[in-house]
Amino acid sequence: MSEKRELLRVFNIERFATEDGPGIRTVVFLKGCSLRCRWCANPESQSFRPEILVKVNACGGCGRCASVCSEGAVRALSGSGYVSDPDRCIRCGSCAENCFSDARELLGKDYTPEELVKILLRDEEYYLAGGGGVTFSGGEPCWYSGVIAETAAMLKARGINILVETCGQVPEENLREVSSCAEAIYYDIKHVDSLRHRELTGAGNELILENLRWLCGNYSGDLSVRYPYIPGCNDGEEDIQEFFRLLRELKLEKAVFLPYHRLGTDKYKGLGRKYEMGEMESLKKADLAFLVEAGAAVGIRVTIE
């Protein structure tokens, strides 16, 4: 994954995002991540390859997609409608183009920094009206550190604020490159124990913690550490205390908790994949209110988003 990327592979551009940093923002979602978190709400973000996502509720079941597919990659899957087999799909997009219900989308479009900037600047006035800007999210945006730096340089020259959301599972040099152009970094910690981390995400957390330490020592921007609170995965009292201890050790004073939600379940269906969280119910912000007090007890200012 260390080869130099020249294009940004984007699976979504969300305008007027108001939940991802200061001011009015556009969020660029970049495709590809080396973690496989069980609860991931954006399963379409994981693979670096383009893929077809089916909005299962929009699918009218006409089967036109299957009939236009030259590779026979589209098949009817009970409960999901027509899904594409990623091994046979050649990402030509003809099924999406021929879907009159607009239920199929080919995700993973490549942009040069110039092309992307042109789109992002459509909302320039809105960013500048209140300290807003562009958020790079994913997937894992740091895999695109070089092109992000290039894109960000063009945006920063116009006074646009840059924020990057990362899981930290990237080479330090990538993080270094991204951090030099971002006013703020949202950094996810999923579990402090590496073995458990491996069980939950497919990888240990050594690199993630090492990178966080590096940021704490070297990054001068706004660093926000975030913890997705997932019942049965990382919500044990000891898990939380370990997390707080880590923050204190790094002299970090605040943390953001993100309640588990199941808004991604339809996407798993649309990709023909199994949702590993089963029937676990979504949490509400109020369910996590107790963490504010728990944090305060150890000197950590907790917010729930």
Partner 1 sequence: MSSRTERLRERLFDQAPGICSERCRIFTDSMRKSEGQPIVLRRAEAFYRVLDSMSIYVNDDELIVGNQASQPKYAPIYPEYSTDWLREEFDGKPYYFNERPGDRFFYDEKVKEEILSCLDYWEGQSVYERLRAELPEEINRAWDANVIDDTWVSAAGLGNVIVDYERVVNEGLENVLRRIDARLEELSGEDEETEHQTDFLKAARRTNEGVIRFAQRIAEECERQAEQHEDPVRAEELRKLSEISRHVPEHPARTFHEAVQSIWLILLAVHLETNGHAISLGRFDQYVNPFLERDLEEGRISRDEALEIVESFFIKCNELNKLRSWPDTEFFMGYQMFINLAVGGQTADGKDAVNLSSELCVEACENLRLFTPSISVKWFEGTGDGFMLKALNAMEKHQGGQPAFYNDKAFMRTLENMGIDEADRYNWVPDGCIEASIPGKWDYAAKGPWLNVEKVLEIVLNDGTDPATGYHFRDPAAPVRESGSTEEIFEEYKRMLRYFIDLQVETERINDAIHVELDLNAFRSSLVDDCIVRGKDLVEGGSVYSADGGPTAGTISAGDALAAIDHLVFNERKLTMDQLLHALRTDYQDDTTIPSGEEIRLLLKNKAPKFGNDDDRADKWVVALEDYIGSTYRYECRSSKYGKGPVPCCYSYSQSPVTGNIAFGKSIGATPDGRRKGEPVNNGISPANGSEKHGATAACNSVIKLPSIWFQKGAIFNMRLAKSALSSAAQKQKILDMIKVLFRNYGQQIQFNVVDSDTYKKAMAEPDKYRDLMVRVSGYSALFTSLSPECQIDVISRAELNV
Contacts of residue 142, Cβ cutoff 8 Å, sequence gap at least 6? 148, 164, 166, 170, 174, 175, 178
Q: Checking phi first, is residue 14 left (phi over 0); if not, alpha (psi -120 to 50) or beta?
A: beta
Tell how strand 81-84 and strand 184-188 pair up. Answer: unpaired
Cβ distance to partner 1 smaller for residue 96 or 170: 96
* Range in contact with partner 1 (rule: CB under 8 A) among 117-125, 149-157, 192-200, 224-232: 117-125
Q: Is there binding between residue 14 and partner 1 (CB under 8 A)?
A: yes
Q: Is there binding between residue 132 and partner 1 (CB under 8 A)?
A: yes
Strand partners, 227: 257
Minimum gap (Å) between residue 81 Cβ and partner 1:
15
Q: Is there binding between residue 130 and partner 1 (CB under 8 A)?
A: yes
Cβ distance to partner 1 smaller for residue 16 or 290: 16
Main-chain dihedrals φ then ψ at residue 109, nearest 5 degrees? -105, 135
The amino acid sitting at 30 is L
Cβ distance to partner 1 smaller for residue 100 or 237: 100
Minimum gap (Å) between residue 21 Cβ and partner 1:
11
Print the SS3 string covering 86-151: CCCCCCCCHHHHCCCCCCEEEECEEECHHHHHHHHHHHHHHHHHCCCEEEEEECCHHHHHHHHHHH
Q: Is there binding between residue 102 and partner 1 (CB under 8 A)?
A: yes
Q: Is there binding between residue 18 and partner 1 (CB under 8 A)?
A: yes
Cβ distance to partner 1 smaller for residue 77 or 119: 119
Cβ distance to partner 1 smaller for residue 163 or 178: 163
Minimum gap (Å) between residue 210 Cβ and partner 1:
33
Q: Is there binding between residue 62 and partner 1 (CB under 8 A)?
A: yes
d(CA 267, CA 171): 29
Element of type H or E holding 257:
strand 254-259
Minimum gap (Å) between residue 122 Cβ and partner 1:
6
Q: Is there binding between residue 122 and partner 1 (CB under 8 A)?
A: yes
Q: Both tokens of residue 21?
A: 């940093």
Calculate the CA 260 to chain-centre distance. 14
Helices (H), the chain: 64-68, 94-97, 113-120, 124-129, 145-156, 172-179, 194-201, 206-218, 237-249, 265-271, 290-297
* Range in contact with partner 1 (rule: CB under 8 A) among 124-132, 167-175, 240-248, 272-280: 124-132
Q: Is there binding between residue 301 and partner 1 (CB under 8 A)?
A: no
Rounded to whole angstroms, the maximal C-alpha distance in the chain is: 61
Judged by CB under 8 A, which of 5, 10, 12, 24 binds partner 1? 24
Q: Is there binding between residue 15 and partner 1 (CB under 8 A)?
A: yes
* Range in contact with partner 1 (rule: CB under 8 A) among 75-83, 121-129, 172-180, 272-280: 121-129
Tell how strand 74-77 and strand 161-166 pair up. Answer: unpaired
Q: Is there binding between residue 282 and partner 1 (CB under 8 A)?
A: no
Closest CA to 287 of 241, 244, 235: 235
Judged by CB under 8 A, which of 1, 6, 57, 60 binds partner 1? 60
Count of residues that interact with partner 1, criterion CB under 8 A: 21
Interface residues with partner 1 (CB under 8 A)?
14-19, 22-24, 60, 62, 100-102, 122-123, 125-126, 129-130, 132
